[in-house]
Structure 1
Amino acid sequence: MKTGVLFIHGFTGGTYEVQPLITFVKARTDWSVEVPTLPGHGVTLNLSNVSAESWMMEAELAMRRLQKRVDRVIIVGFSMGGLIALYLSLRYPVSKLVLLSAAAKYISPRFLLEDVRIMLQESITKNYSPNSFHHLYDYKLTHTPLRAMFEFLRIVRMVEPYYSQIKIPVCLVQGEKDEIVPFSSAEHLYKTLGSEKKVFIKSPRGKHHICYSDDCNDWFSKVLDFMRNDCQKQI
């Protein structure tokens, strides 16, 4: 049976957000991989004329491309990509879901404001924190129109009523030091998803860009085990 993995990046991001996990999986399997760039996203942003529908349609097209090559599909979604992964699992036969820093409740205003404050300070002093993405956020602050944020929130609201209808095995990975999506987001998903088989992996040192956490190699292996094997409920 041929396996394929669809990786979906997050809001204002790009495929680089999930690239470390892609590299890890490709080095250890012969699985097919599909990694779309959502409209307006990537290394440079152009989010002035995009919509929630355009993002979901691009993910659907990638899903259909992958389906033509494989027998079963696993979806890995990061942040907003996790919500799009849930949406696709309601419309297509998906084997398993891996949700990384999934923005289920929506971006926490408190965490976001604090992060913006830090970014603004550091954009002035250029004293960026080591091993951080603050320089990238600095760029995003000036290239993300408010309309695009509302489109992101539309996806949150569109998917939320259907959490209980998700029945396939799911693995949630959440950083305990996530400065954008609160840890309670993953806890909320774990409780409300209708899946009987769930795995909740907590990254003690993980921030929002979880694939770049100091302990990523530890949980990469656990995620791959989940993708390969029948999972057992744990938390």
Structure 2
Amino acid sequence: MIGCLFIHGFTGAPYEIEPLARYIRDSTDWVVRTPTLPGHGETLYLKGTHYSEWIEYAEKVLIDLLQSCDKVFIIGFSMGGLIAGYLATRYPIQKLVLLSAAAYYINPKQLVADIKIMLRDGLNKTLHKNELYLRYKKKIVDTPLSATIEFRKLVRKIRPELHHIKVPTLIVQGECDGIVPLKSANYLYQVISSTEKKLLLLPCAKHHVCYGEDQDKLFKEVDTFLHESTKEYIY
């Protein structure tokens, strides 16, 4: 039996990766898990949470999968990509997929472009239809500074560990991502030690790569990658 663990991003929830998770559920008989990290979800309760709680919860779900499945894959989005990479250095998973993984964050050039579009939509009185604005306005209000500090601590803790990743890895990055810059994906490709790694750039995708024009390409590439045969790794 194959298990597949999805880990969502900071201030996010399983909806961020649900389109891809649903695709895998519908096309395989795999055990798919999409846990919600502590303090996260449709409603945020992040005050007082520590980054170690996010890692430990994902780790607990992974251990459960490893106990019941012959093979386990991890797919992590944004901050969840870093957690996924960290777990891949400590547990015998078979493959790793990193979606918009936040080894670095904030892409100034794209962020300015997105803000200009929001300003234009505001002047045209159509801001209520702007998907990016709707997605982030509530997060900004509901995210305490302490949680943002914890996120930064997590990045600082995990980034030095990423070179220990030896499992086959697919790195996916949207070229129009205003949150995680392209240099994050390039960095991951350079530092990950696996001899089987691939960088997939999606020209039309923003941060939420599971949504948008490149969705079909993403699904097909991930599906192909996860079904490819690979050698066994010793931990």
TM over 0.5: yes
Report the Cα distance in structure 1 between the residues aligned to 2:194 and 2:185, rounded to whole angstroms: 14
Residues 185-204 of structure 1: matches in 2 within 5 Å? 185-204=184-203
> Do the aligned partners of residues 20 and 126 (structure 1) sit closer, same or farther apart at CA in structure 2, a change above 3 Å counting?
farther
Please identify, of 107-116 and 84-93, the stretch whose mean Cα deviation from structure 2 is larger: 107-116
1:155 counterpart residue number? 154
Partner of 1:175: 174
Identity of aligned residues (%): 46
Q: What secondary structure sits across from 2:75 in the alignment?
A: strand
Mean alpha-carbon deviation: is it higher for 101-110 or for 12-21? 101-110
- 1:224 paired with 2:223, answer yes
1:103 is aligned to 102
| Alpha carbons of structure 1 residues 218 and 40: separation in structure 2 relative to 1, 3 Å | same
Three-state SS of the structure 1 residue aligned to 2:80 is helix
Distance 1:48 1:120, change over 3 A: farther
Q: Matches of 1:61 and 1:121 in 2, distance apart?
A: 45
**Aligned residue-pair number:** 230
Q: Deviations over 1:154-193 (max 9, x none)?
A: 1111111122211110001110101110011101110111
Deviation of 1:68 after TM superposition, in Å, equals 2.2
Specify every segment of 5 or more residues in structure 2 that has no aligned partner in the other structure, as ranges. Answer: 231-235
Structure 1 residue 81: deviation in Å?
A: 0.2
Deviation at 1:115, TM superposition (A): 5.4
| Equivalent residue number for residue 92 of structure 1 | 91
For structure 1, which runs of at least 5 residues remain unmatched after alignment?
Answer: none
Q: TM-score, normalised by structure 1?
A: 0.90
Q: Deviations over 1:12-62 (max 9, x none)?
A: 000000000001111111100111100111101111111110100110111
**Aligned residue identity for 1:176:** E
Query: TM-score, normalized by length of structure 2?
Result: 0.90
**Which range moves more in the overlay, 62-71 or 37-46?**
62-71
Cross-structure match for 2:25: 26
User: Quick one: which amino acid aligns to residue 25 of structure 2?
Assistant: K
Task: Work out the CA distance in 2 between the residues paired with 1:62 and 1:120.
Answer: 42
Residue aligning to 2:64: 65
Deviations 1:71-108 (Å, cap 9, x if unpaired)?
A: 11100000000000011111211111000000012344
- In structure 2, distance between residues paired with 1:224 and 1:154: 33
Tell me how far apart the structure 1 counterparts of residues 74 and 216 of structure 2 sit (CA, whole Å): 19
Q: Residue 120 of structure 1: CA displacement?
A: 8.2
Distance 2:139 2:122 in 1: 12
- In structure 2, C-alpha distance between the alignment counterparts of 1:139 and 1:78, rounded to whole Å: 20
Map of 1:139 onto structure 2: 138
Q: More deviation in 47-56 or 123-132?
A: 123-132
